[in-house]
Structure 1
Amino acid sequence: MFDGFVEIPAPMVIGIAAVVAALGFGTGMAVAGPSLAEANSPYARVSAVVRADATVERSKGVSWVRKVDVGRYCVKLSDPDVRLTESVPVAAPLAESAPIGAQALVASRPSPYCGNTADEVYVGTGTEANQGRDLPFALLIP
């Protein structure tokens, strides 16, 4: 039975990272609090670069990110026109501090980890040997 989570094999992570870079994740400074640095991603409705502690470095279409457990994050969407159940969300661990075998899983429907709300995307990070590890990640909803 499909549980709404998508596991991305390691070779695809490199390709996804290239796509994320091509979509315009430019350089930006980390900004704490409610004002987030704007991501330059013209072909994405939602994009975010998130640190392991849930700090958002830059984003588009994201209000905030909260860490609900080790390796478990909820990303609050700011655009009510983005419908999670009609979207194809993609998450990938960020290479600068992710270990070999790092994984990012993203839910394609409301998740109990995020209160089953339609405007929050669940992202889980970890490794094959240690599921549930805090890792930085990128999120993209085209």
Structure 2
Amino acid sequence: MSDNRKYYYLKLKENYFDEDAIVLLESMQDGILYSNILLKLYLKSLKNGGKLQLDENIPYTAQMIATITRQQVGTVERALQIFMKLGLVEPLPSGALYMSNIELLIGQSSTEGERKRRARLALQEQKALPKAGADK
């Protein structure tokens, strides 16, 4: 049996923290805390295509988000309201929250893909090495 796992990761652009919504968010009282919560929510939503759900049928509540982000419920509730006003999070009809623009931030890989990538890189590096005795 293969041990080929999928990995999801965030790809943040170099200017992510210079975007208007993030600058506004971080300029608020507790803004750095909200920014941290936002990044944790992005990470939590990766494998669900941007939806904040425990599983297919159970959307995360503010209490659940507070638990997984290790923050107080009131802080999370305020953060979610601000995220919605800034267009960073959208409520879905199912009750789940959707992380806006997540498709621009999602990277995906697998252990097999990483192995192949390393093998290609090693082959390219080997081809780039000068041959021994070629200058004689």
TM range (shorter): under 0.3
What is the TM-score when the length of structure 2 is the normalising length?
0.26
User: Higher helix fraction: Structure 1 or Structure 2?
Assistant: 2
Larger radius of gyration: 2
Structure showing greater relative contact order (alpha-carbon pairs closer than 8 Å, 6 or more residues apart): 2
Larger strand proportion of the pair: 1
- How high is the TM-score relative to the length of structure 1? 0.26
